[in-house]
């Protein structure tokens, strides 16, 4: 018995020693200096052009609604990017824009850059300036859509505008796609995918919004990180109903429908019954981020082979993000009882919003909830559901090229893949490419990130100028 205990301790000691030695070999590359010189002319150009784009309030629309703001926006784009409009073939699919720049070698697979034209609504309440004014304050430009997603459109279009002026012609075809209803999950991007599919087009790489250069995504990191979204979680809305006889609340029976619903919600929230799993891409994210932490975290993240159980136990405790990256999440968002204070509801319901994981799709996540619902005699109805997107290949040469360009243009930041919790139009493009990647080469602070879809949305002008340089380099150097 004693020998067994000693043996266990000896093995543990050896494993920890190996982990320590491995950790000592994980060296963070020195934080490089960004050589790009941003001039006042660059800043003024970004302010003028993005300002003009923001001043058209392109709030999301379905294809059969009034699209006049979008057509006005198209005219603004023609004025701001004349070279693009002279050189590219433009197709308008009910407001959604699809452009094609013909390359010199038709045998090479085209690439596609994308974003979206639409914005979420905003009134001026709480803003430092009118919401659609594109006002510059201390080097940042404010306005709905300034970050999400007109900054992405701007850096892509401006890079190409300048390359055309320099006489550059790309080796492969380059497409651009900007839908009118990304924010409402509309059909714009899907219609563009159908259009390209009918033409038999396969894309080498797709780059959309979603990832960015973010400020220390996990506390304790020593640098900004360029995070590349390689997949996005699924989405499901459920209506969970309890049925009963109703009646007067002065003589309530046991186990009323509302109480059963609450007990169910309580148990789900406490138990969090979905499967926790570290997909290889999250594993890789931690591996890429490990060098920029101090010793303790570096040892944990750099030795997942040893600390996986500990990491998986800690992640959900440390932050809601840590849990969301490991498993399906379920959040109860709406509820309805009876219409009066003194009436027992006959069929109260809850709405649950789930974000399903890559490893436990909508059907499987629903089956988990059904088991608990049966226990409380509840019915579940699916309002809408879509599974997580496929996962892009982080070992492809296209992914490697993107990271190589990021390291060249932004030598002061780290690079890592990650999982998107929300949704982007990029998910539709997995049908045309195994490299559908979400990365906008624009630096954003945590405050700027939080201001997306909120008041005082803004983006830093010098960050936009850097983004333009990035795409110029990406397109000019593209050799795949």
Query: Which residue from 148, 173, 425, 457 is in contact with Zn ion, where contact means CB under 5 A?
Result: 148
Q: How far is the CB of 206 from Zn ion (least distance, A)?
A: 15
Nearer to Zn ion, 288 or 426 (CB): 426
51-59, 140-148, 346-354, 357-365 -> range binding Zn ion (CB under 5 A): 140-148
Q: Stretches 141-149, 240-248, 289-297, 338-346: which one binds Zn ion (CB under 5 A)?
A: 141-149
Q: Which is nearer to Zn ion, 180 or 258 (CB)?
A: 180
- Which range, of 118-126, 143-151, 264-272, 389-397, touches Zn ion by CB under 5 A? 143-151
Q: Does 425 bind Zn ion (CB under 5 A)?
A: no
Three-state SS letters, 106-174 = CCCCCEEEEEECCECCCCCCCCCCCCCCCEEECCEEECCCCCCCHHHHHHHHHHHHHHHHCCCCCCCCE
Please list, residue by residue across 381-404, b when 16 or more beta carbons sit within 10 angstroms of its beta carbon and e when fewer do: eeeebbbbbebbbbebebbebbbe
Number of residues near Zn ion (by CB under 5 A): 2
Write the burial class of residue 63 (CB in 10 Å: 0-12 exposed, 13-18 middle, 19+ buried). Answer: middle
Closest approach of Cβ 178 to Zn ion, in Å? 11
CB nearer Zn ion, residue 36 or residue 184:
184
* Interacting span for Zn ion (CB under 5 A) from 60-68, 149-157, 253-261, 364-372: 149-157
- Give the orientation angle of helix 280-289 with respect to helix 304-318, to 10 degrees: 90
Closer by beta carbon to Zn ion, 148 or else 284: 148
Phi and psi based region of residue 453 (left: phi greater than 0; alpha: psi -120 to 50; beta: remaining): left
- The least CB distance from residue 208 to Zn ion, in Å, is 9
Choose between 149 and 268: whose C-beta lies nearer to Zn ion: 149
Site string for Zn ion, 174-193 (x = CB under 5 A): --------------------
Output the furthest CA–CA distance in the chain (Å, rounded). Answer: 83
CA quadruple 193, 194, 198, 201: dihedral, nearest 10 = 10
Residue nearest to Zn ion (CB): 149
Tokens of 65: 């609604």
Between 53 and 265, CB nearer to Zn ion: 53
Least Å distance, CB 232 to Zn ion, is 12
CA distance 452 to 396: 31
Min dist CB 448 to Zn ion, Å, is 14
Q: Is 149 in the site for Zn ion (CB under 5 A)?
A: yes
| Cβ proximity to Zn ion, 149 vs 221, nearer residue | 149
Nearer to Zn ion, 403 or 424 (CB): 424
Q: Which residue pairs from 332-338 have beta carbons closer than 8 angstroms and sit at least 24 positions apart in sequence?
A: 332/265, 332/269, 335/261, 337/258, 338/246
- Scanning 126-134, 144-152, 171-179, 371-379 for contacts with Zn ion by CB under 5 A, the matching segment is 144-152
Give the Cα separation of 227 and 285 in Å (integer).
9
* Contact predicate 391/279, CB 8 Å: yes
Stretch that binds Zn ion, among 146-154, 275-283, 396-404, 429-437 (CB under 5 A): 146-154
DSSP 196-259: HHHTT---SEEEESS--EES-SSTT-SS-EEEEEEEE--EEEEEEEE-----BTTS--SS-HHH
As measured in angstroms, the least distance from the Cβ of 147 to Zn ion is: 9
Q: Of 62-121, which residues contact Zn ion (CB under 5 A)?
A: none
Task: Find the part of the chain contacting Zn ion (CB under 5 A) among 9-17, 142-150, 284-292, 440-448.
Answer: 142-150
Apex 170 CA angle, 49 and 231, nearest 5: 75
Our CB check for Zn ion shows the closer of 109 and 386 to be 386
Residues that bind Zn ion (CB under 5 A): 148-149
């Amino acid at each position: 018995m004693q020998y067994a205990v000693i043996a266990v301790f000896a093995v543990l000691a050896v494993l920890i020693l190996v982990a320590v030695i491995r950790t000592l070999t994980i060296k963070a590359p020195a934080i490089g200096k960004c050589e790009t010189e941003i001039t006042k002319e660059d800043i003024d150009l970004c302010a003028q052009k993005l300002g003009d784009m923001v001043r058209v309030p392109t709030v999301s629309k379905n294809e059969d609604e009034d699209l006049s703001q979008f057509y006005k926006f198209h005219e603004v784009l023609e004025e701001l990017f004349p070279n693009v409009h002279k050189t590219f073939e433009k197709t308008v699919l009910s407001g959604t824009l699809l452009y094609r720049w013909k390359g010199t070698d038709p045998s090479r697979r085209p690439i596609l850059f994308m974003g979206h034209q639409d914005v979420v609504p905003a009134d001026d309440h709480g803003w430092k300036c009118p919401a659609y004014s594109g006002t510059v304050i201390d080097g940042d430009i404010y306005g709905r859509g300034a970050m999400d997603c007109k900054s992405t459109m701007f850096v892509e279009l401006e890079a190409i505008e300048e390359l055309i002026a320099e006489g550059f012609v790309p080796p492969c075809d380059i497409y651009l796609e900007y839908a009118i209803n990304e924010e409402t999950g509309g059909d714009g991007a899907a219609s563009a995918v159908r259009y390209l599919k009918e033409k038999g087009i396969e894309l080498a790489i797709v780059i959309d919004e979603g990832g960015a250069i973010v400020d220390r995504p996990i506390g304790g990191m020593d640098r900004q990180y360029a995070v590349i979204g390689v997949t996005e979680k699924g989405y499901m809305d459920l209506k969970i109903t309890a049925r009963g006889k109703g009646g007067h609340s002065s003589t309530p029976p046991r186990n009323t429908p509302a109480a059963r619903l609450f007990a169910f919600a309580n148990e789900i929230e406490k138990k969090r019954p979905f499967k926790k799993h570290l997909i290889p891409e999250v594993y890789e994210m931690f591996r890429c981020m490990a060098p920029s932490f101090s010793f303790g975290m570096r040892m944990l993240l750099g030795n997942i082979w040893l600390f996986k159980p500990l990491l998986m136990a800690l992640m959900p405790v440390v932050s809601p993000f840590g849990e969301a990256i490991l498993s399906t999440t379920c959040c109860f968002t709406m509820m309805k009882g009876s219409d009066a204070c003194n009436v027992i509801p006959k069929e109260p319901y809850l709405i649950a919003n789930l974000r399903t994981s890559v490893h436990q799709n909508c059907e499987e996540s629903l089956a988990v909830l059904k088991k608990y619902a049966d226990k409380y005699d509840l019915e579940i109805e699916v309002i809408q559901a879509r599974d997580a997107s496929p996962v892009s290949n982080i070992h492809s040469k296209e992914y490697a090229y993107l990271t190589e360009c990021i390291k060249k243009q932004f030598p002061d930041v780290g690079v890592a893949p990650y999982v998107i919790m929300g949704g982007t139009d990029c998910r539709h493009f997995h049908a045309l490419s195994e490299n559908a990647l979400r990365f906008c080469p624009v630096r954003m602070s945590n405050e700027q990130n939080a201001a997306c879809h909120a008041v005082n949305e803004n983006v830093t002008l010098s960050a936009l100028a850097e983004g333009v340089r990035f795409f110029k380099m990406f397109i000019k150097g593209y050799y795949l």
